Amino acid sequence: MEEQEVINPAHGSGEKRMQIRESARKIFDGAANAGHDINHSLRVMDLCIHISSIEGGDSEILEAAALLHDIGRPAQLKDPAVDHATLSAQLAPDILSGAGFASQKVPAVVYAIKHHRYSFGLTPDTLEARILQDADRLDISGAVGAAMTFAYSGAMNRKLYHSSDPLAEHRQLDGDKYALDHILSKLMHLPGSMHTTTARLMAEERNRFLNGFVEQLVREITFGRRQANE
Ligand SMILES: [Fe+2]
Ligand SMILES: [Fe+2]
């Protein structure tokens, strides 16, 4: 069966949006990126539109910003000195004008893309930029977040977990060394970092799954040790 992307058919349709999607897809095609591919951008788009239907904001700006927010990632993977948010914001205007996107909305798309990286600790000024930040982080929470963490950790040759102290009860968490540490130090705290109530509630729900996953993972990791103590 041929592989097809799964998105809400009501989103990203229309000639202009299809063109923007195709431009983004071409940039991601063939670039090894451990989960940060066109499917991430499409999921972020679906989340943006859902959040915006409750919180407000311009859905056209959000669709375009979601589709293009990470197009600088393949370049950052090759050269870590590249900031993918800045590069994505630089590449976006040409793609948008080529697709006939309303020129008066381009600056708002560029602003949202440029400010989407939460790791910079910035709270964006516009509602669309805040929603994009929320949707981007919501997509790396829950089951998808765990899957992306393990994919990225594998690509970076990191270990799954610290073998003698997986929950870091007697050491500092080190997300650069262990995938589970990244989940504990970053993913678990995502709900508290959301700007909108809609995204926070969704993140809390996804977090409940993640908590259960971590509990089971640790149960399995410590199986032999627990048996020895019985
Ligand atoms: Fe990004
Ligand atoms: Fe992203």
Q: Show the domains of the chain with their CATH numbers.
A: 8-119 (1.10.3210.10), 140-230 (1.10.3210.50)
Ligand 2 centroid, distance to 228 Cα (angstroms): 44
| Ligand 2 centroid to residue 71 C-alpha, Å | 9
119 C-alpha to ligand 1 centroid (Å): 10
Q: For residue 224, how far is its CA from the centre of ligand 1 (angstroms)?
A: 39
Read off the pLDDT band of 77 (50, 70, 90).
Answer: confident
Beta bridge partners of 159: 178
Q: How much is the pLDDT for 14?
A: 74
- Ligand nearest to the Cα of 119, by number: 1
**79 Cα to the center of ligand 1, angstroms:** 15
Hunting for tokens 């349709």 — which residue is that? 13
| CA 217 remoteness from chain centre | 23
Query: How high is the pLDDT of residue 184?
Result: 96
Out of 27-41, 64-78, 89-103, 203-217, least confident range: 27-41
pLDDT surpasses 90 at 229: no
pLDDT at 9: 59
Which tokens belong to 175?
């997300």
For ligand 2, the distance from its centroid to the CA atom of residue 219, given in whole angstroms, is 31
More confident residue, 196 or 9: 196
Kindly give the distance from the C-alpha atom of residue 218 to the centroid of ligand 2, in angstroms, as a whole number.
28
Residue 41 has pLDDT above 80, yes or no: yes
**Amino acid 32: pLDDT:** 63
Tokens of 10: 């009501």
Backbone φ and ψ for 66, nearest 5 degrees, come out as -65, -45
Kindly tell me the burial class for residue 36, based on how many C-beta atoms sit within 10 Å of its own C-beta (0-12, 13-18, 19 or more): buried
216 Cα to the center of ligand 2, angstroms: 28
CA of 169 from ligand 1 middle (Å) equals 31
What number is the average pLDDT over the span 82-92?
96
pLDDT > 90? residue 211: yes
Q: What is the mean pLDDT of the chain?
A: 91
Query: Which ligand has the minimum distance to the alpha carbon of residue 67?
Result: 2
Ligand closest to the CA atom of residue 38: 2
Q: Give the C-alpha separation, 230 to 225, whole Å.
A: 9
Q: Which residue has the tokens 């006939």?
A: 100
Residues with CB under 5 A from ligand 1 (ion): 70
CA-nearest of 213, 70, 77 to 137 is 70
* pLDDT at 11 exceeding the cut of 70: no
Q: Residue 4 pLDDT more than 80?
A: no
Residues 6+ apart with CB under 8 A from 43: 7, 139, 144
